[in-house]
């Protein structure tokens, strides 16, 4: 349960005042408070800073209200969303299918780099990646040959595959030989379209 309204009122702030500080519309803030819309990670962190609390308390994951410095969000880490899927046509920051949030070192974001994570489903990237693994991606519209990427193909949900660039197109390859490799010409890349969403930078596997 999101405690945004409760904490805003404790600060004696109006919806418009908080919306102005966040750089969003009052309607958007109202949607977050009623949980009509899911708040994105960047604004979640901004809200926690403005309202002097932790993201866990704001999300209802902790019952400890932070005005206590030692439980505040560490300064050297940030939280990124773990997504279950990336539906077509929706910016990553607006996706509502957030399974959880995980920490990454703040230094990873230097230079304006952005990250998201996907929980892997299926075995098309076996044996390097297993179903249930969490893979952290750097947001990028381009990649190099050999990069493992989140790729949007033909307007469908994103798929996770290895990319091989050819002079006349790209190969979108599963690591599991039981699955077929897809090839797209340079023309098909533009017309389908085929879009690189992010490059895998870290694998996290829970025992």
Of 72, 124, 173, 192, the active-site residue reads: 124
Of 61, 161, 166, 173, the active-site residue reads: 161
Q: How far apart are CA 147 and CA 201, in angstroms?
A: 9
Per the annotation, the verdict on 207 as an active-site residue is no
Q: Is 48 helix (H, G, I), strand (E, B) or coil?
A: helix
pTM exceeds 0.95, yes or no: no
The whole-number pLDDT of residue 69 equals 37
Q: Which two tokens stand for residue 35?
A: 């949980």
The whole-number pLDDT of residue 38 equals 86
Per the annotation, the verdict on 124 as an active-site residue is yes
Name the CA radius of gyration of the chain, rounded.
19
Low-confidence ranges of the chain (pLDDT < 50): 64-73
Q: How far apart are CA 101 and CA 48, in angstroms?
A: 14
Instruction: List pLDDT tens digits, range 104-147.
Output: 998 899 888 999 999 998 899 999 999 889 999 999 999 999 99
Answer positive or negative: Cα dihedral of 147, 148, 149, 155: positive
The whole-number pLDDT of residue 67 equals 44
């Amino acid at each position: 349960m999101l405690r945004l309204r409760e904490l805003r009122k404790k600060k004696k702030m109006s919806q418009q005042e908080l919306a102005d500080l966040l750089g969003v519309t009052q309607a958007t803030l109202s949607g977050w408070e009623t949980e009509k819309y899911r708040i994105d990670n960047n604004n979640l962190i901004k809200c926690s800073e403005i309202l002097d609390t932790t993201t866990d308390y704001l999300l209802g994951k902790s019952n400890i209200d932070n005005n206590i410095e030692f439980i505040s969000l560490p300064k050297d880490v940030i939280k990124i969303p773990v997504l279950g899927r990336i539906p077509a046509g929706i910016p990553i920051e607006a996706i509502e299918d957030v399974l959880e949030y995980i920490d990454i070192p703040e230094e990873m974001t230097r230079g304006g780099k952005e990250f998201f994570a996907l929980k892997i489903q299926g075995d098309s990237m076996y044996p390097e990646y297993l179903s249930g693994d969490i893979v952290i991606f750097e947001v990028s519209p381009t990649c190099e040959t050999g990069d493992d990427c989140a790729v949007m193909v033909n307007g469908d949900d994103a798929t996770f595959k290895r990319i091989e660039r050819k002079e006349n197109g790209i190969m979108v390859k599963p690591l599991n030989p039981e699955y077929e490799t897809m090839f797209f010409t340079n023309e098909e890349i533009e017309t389908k379209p085929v879009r690189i969403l992010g490059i895998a930078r870290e694998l996290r596997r829970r025992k």
